[in-house]
Amino acid sequence: MSIEREIAFGGNTLKVTLGKTARQADGAVWVQFGDTILHLAVVSSTERREGFDFLPLTCDYREKFYAAGKIPGGFFKREGRPHENEILNSRIIDRPIRPLFPEGYAYETQVMGIVISSDMENDASVLGPIAASIALNISDIPMNDIIASVRVGLIDGEYVVNPTYAQQEESRLDLYIVGSADALTMVEGHCDELSNQELIDALDFGHEQIKILVEFQRTIVEEFGKPTREYELPERDESLIQMVKDKGTDRLAEIAVIQEKSERNAARKALVKELLEDVDPEDGDKVASVKETVSDVFKHLVRANILENNIRLDGRNNKEIRDIECEVGVLPRAHGSSLFTRGQTQALGTVTLGTKLDEQRIDQLDVVGFQQYMLHYTFPPYCTGEVKRSFGVSRREVGHGKLGERALQPMLPVWDEFPYTIRVTSDIMESNGSSSMASVCAGSLALMAAGVPVKKAVAGIAMGLIKEGDDYKFLTDILGDEDHLGDMDFKVAGTRDGITAFQMDIKIKGISAELMAEALTQARDARHHILDKMDAVISEPKTELSQYAPHFITVKIPVDRIGALIGPGGKMIREIIADTGATIDVEDDGTVRIGSADGDSGNAAKLRVEALTQVPEVGKTYQGTIKKIMNFGAFVEILPGVEGLMHISQIEHRRVENVEDLFKVGDTVEVKLLKVDNNGKLDLSRKALLPGGPPPRDKDDRDNRKPRGGGFQGGPSRR
């Protein structure tokens, strides 16, 4: 028997259905907003994974094309591997629910959501964390809190909750917030240079909406929630833990002040190896307990040193930024390149300019079209000095790439001003914290070096948080270990005038808007410092593109000649592309953009386009091809798709009895265009180009000729 509960929210109805589907799962829910429906189910194993010191959680978000009445594109007519949007939405579910499981819960857990209906107005992704929270909390899986999610837009100065797709097009802000009744747990989004205060106001607005949804969920959980199952946590061997503390604390205090990352990590590994000498290597729980205790002690020492002495792992204070080096033009053949180094984090940024044919085709549930700008991020294992197997693009790489892409996008020129497809790449050369924000800086530098007319430079910074009770410190430009040992990773990107993208994950229960405001202010100061360093290398886009970049020639043709350029089945335009190597893009208004890697191929294509699309001119001579012969003349094609009549009287000065005595279909003939009548019909003459005869005169000339007699026109006759 299914159960339904609903609430009016955001100008629509949010409906929750339980017991309708997936009854063998530990928890399942059907969440509907408008006619958009997300089905989500959760299952957690009843057997604990021995030796695991982390939560084995998998979250998947998938979209079914039938949800919008579509059949998937491509050769295989079924949903394939997850596209970027699905990966990003899977991460949006994962990140806020992961901290809600009990510490030490090492049971395989899977959260699977599928979009089964889409009204193409309301976004299904915002339902993900809500559905996960309900499904987990009504199940017997241990869960520590209830969370909810909303999207916030800013339209005409007003904040809007869960804007429709149409409203998102008008919004200056796309803010995704997840939180509990007490605090925010995840923030992500992008905007058009919002001020700190505008973003804080949006967070306050969104949190008030979240509280409504959390209370709605609470009534459902209290009525239908199951008792929490019994589960095992790793047994704590207090004597073993005490041994590790006795032997390791002083050594760890020394390690915690080693400023070089690899040296510090090597010292920790050596200590762990030494402490494990008296532990049975087959006893996974004891091995994990030693490692966990070392991590706990090290974490406590590092955090205490920051809070009490304001000294971080690498010796900086909480507001200090690592040394920054910027270079541009480091690659001779790339259209634009840069190398951005901040401490032990380094990103190689490149920009490649392409034509319209290089656009990324998007085929997903709510979007079918082309993307003219993209940023791709790669994180090879060597950048952290590790050996790992490569399994293609990771979810982390997709997420970091999209964050960087959104950060730079507001500063890019519109297509009409700069008709290039733009691909930015960030290859991480080494990493010790905040490689995604280094990618933003490297990408901005590379765009300027490529001559892309960006409006302003963009920089990014990652902020951390160490909080114990009421005592806290925000950390500017966090290290990788500070991310791991700290309570927050808050990435903020923007220009000198405002924020363009942001992402926040926290490991504690939540963070207040007041603390967020302080973090944003500290991040703004850091962003300006980085922009100063970048401006010292390149402060304005180059005025010329790379000689290796495609060059565009724009030609305007009559709209009625577009068909002649394209040809039957695209034959003519394909021939030009194949012969010249240029790319050709034709707009509906007759604008033709020719892209080429060099001037010669572009000019050759331009001449071919002009030849195919020229308009017939009266009095001009053409080399034509006879297409059809009639008893009264021949039809001659003087331009592609343009034919005119060469009347039998206009073939020669002498009388011609039979056209076929002189010509056959396919012959080439030189003709002159005499006239284009009001209906667009063309009169052609071969005779007009032959010597030995009076110039041809049309009917109007004959009507206006002078009288043959000797008298004056209009006067009396002498006769």
What's the confidence (pLDDT) of residue 286? 83
The yes-or-no verdict on residue 702 having pLDDT over 70 is: no
Q: Which of 119-123, 553-557, 591-595, 714-718 has the highest mean pLDDT?
A: 119-123
pLDDT band at 303 (very low <50, low <70, confident <90, very high): very high
Number of alpha carbons in the 13 Å side-chain half-sphere of residue 557? 30
Question: 334: helix, coil or strand?
Answer: coil
What's the confidence (pLDDT) of residue 697? 54
What's the confidence (pLDDT) of residue 585? 86
pLDDT band at 703 (very low <50, low <70, confident <90, very high): very low
**Residue 28: other Cβ atoms inside 10 A:** 24
Amino acid in the structure at residue 100: L
Write down the H helix ranges in 541-590.
562-566, 571-580
Amino acid in the structure at residue 226: K
Q: Note whether residue 296 is domain-resident.
A: yes
| Average confidence (pLDDT) over 626-653 | 91
| Average confidence (pLDDT) over 538-557 | 91
pLDDT band at 716 (very low <50, low <70, confident <90, very high): very low
> The domain spanning residue 688 has which CATH number?
2.40.50.140
What's the confidence (pLDDT) of residue 695? 55
Domain end (from 309, 337, 371): 309
Q: Note whether residue 230 is domain-resident.
A: no
Instruction: Tell me the angle at which helices 238-255 and 261-275 cross, rounded to the nearest 10 degrees.
Output: 150
Q: Note whether residue 707 is domain-resident.
A: no
Q: How far is residue 525's CA from residue 379's CA, in Å, rounded to a whole number?
A: 28
Does residue 519 contact residue 490 with C-beta atoms inside 8 Å? yes
pLDDT in tens, 335-394: 999 999 999 999 999 999 998 878 888 877 777 778 899 999 999 999 988 898 877 899
What's the confidence (pLDDT) of residue 709? 38
Q: How far is residue 2's CA from residue 19's CA, in Å, rounded to a whole number?
A: 4
What's the confidence (pLDDT) of residue 192? 94
Q: Note whether residue 507 is domain-resident.
A: no
Q: How many independent structural domains does the chain possess?
A: 5
pLDDT exceeding 90 applies to what percent of the chain?
66
Q: How far is residue 542's CA from residue 446's CA, in Å, rounded to a whole number?
A: 10
Bridge partners of 551, per DSSP, are: 596
What's the confidence (pLDDT) of residue 666? 93
The yes-or-no verdict on residue 613 having pLDDT over 60 is: yes
pLDDT in tens, 272-284: 999 988 888 877 7
Mean predicted lDDT score pLDDT of the chain: 90
Q: 566 and 685: one domain?
A: no
Q: 33 and 113: one domain?
A: yes
What's the confidence (pLDDT) of residue 183? 86
Instruction: Tell me the angle at which helices 284-309 and 238-255 cross, rounded to the nearest 10 degrees.
Output: 40
| Average confidence (pLDDT) over 58-66 | 95
Q: 181 and 295: one domain?
A: no
Does residue 429 contact residue 409 with C-beta atoms inside 8 Å? no
Q: 218 and 287: one domain?
A: no
Domain end (from 567, 582, 613): 613
Q: 381 and 296: one domain?
A: no
Q: How many helices (DSSP H) and strands (DSSP E) are in the chain?
A: 15, 29
What's the confidence (pLDDT) of residue 693? 60
Q: In terms of residues, how long is the chain? A: 719
| Nearest residue to 196 (alpha-carbon basis) of 527, 459, 516, 530 | 516
Q: 557 and 428: one domain?
A: no
The yes-or-no verdict on residue 545 having pLDDT over 70 is: yes
| Nearest residue to 626 (alpha-carbon basis) of 609, 657, 651 | 651
> The domain spanning residue 449 has which CATH number?
3.30.230.70
> The domain spanning residue 250 has which CATH number?
1.10.10
pLDDT band at 715 (very low <50, low <70, confident <90, very high): very low
Does residue 195 contact residue 156 with C-beta atoms inside 8 Å? no
**End-to-end Cα separation, the chain, in angstroms:** 118
Bridge partners of 17, per DSSP, are: 4, 30
| Average confidence (pLDDT) over 250-272 | 92
Q: 604 and 668: one domain?
A: no
Instruction: Tell me the angle at which helices 284-309 and 261-275 cross, rounded to the nearest 10 degrees.
Output: 140
Tell how strand 373-378 and strand 459-468 pair up: unpaired
Q: 636 and 687: one domain?
A: yes
pLDDT exceeding 70 applies to what percent of the chain?
96
**For the chain, how long is the longest CA-to-CA vector?**
146
Does residue 89 contact residue 125 with C-beta atoms inside 8 Å? yes
Q: Note whether residue 676 is domain-resident.
A: yes
Residue range(s) defining the domain that contains residue 253: 238-309
Q: 187 and 39: one domain?
A: yes
> pTM for the full model?
0.83
The yes-or-no verdict on residue 207 having pLDDT over 50 is: yes
Q: Note whether residue 545 is domain-resident.
A: no
Q: 103 and 19: one domain?
A: yes
The yes-or-no verdict on residue 717 having pLDDT over 70 is: no
pLDDT in tens, 411-421: 999 988 898 99
**Residue 692: other Cβ atoms inside 10 A:** 8
What's the confidence (pLDDT) of residue 420? 92
Q: Note whether residue 544 is domain-resident.
A: no
What's the confidence (pLDDT) of residue 451? 96
Q: How far is residue 382's CA from residue 388's CA, in Å, rounded to a whole number?
A: 9
Q: Which two tokens stand for residue 302?
A: 């590092």
pLDDT band at 226 (very low <50, low <70, confident <90, very high): very high
pLDDT band at 646 (very low <50, low <70, confident <90, very high): very high
Query: In terms of pLDDT, which residue wins out, 513 or 23?
Result: 23
Q: How far is residue 443's CA from residue 309's CA, in Å, rounded to a whole number?
A: 36
Q: Note whether residue 489 is domain-resident.
A: no
Does residue 498 contact residue 193 with C-beta atoms inside 8 Å? yes
Q: 690 and 564: one domain?
A: no
What's the confidence (pLDDT) of residue 694? 56
Q: 457 and 360: one domain?
A: yes
pLDDT band at 713 (very low <50, low <70, confident <90, very high): very low
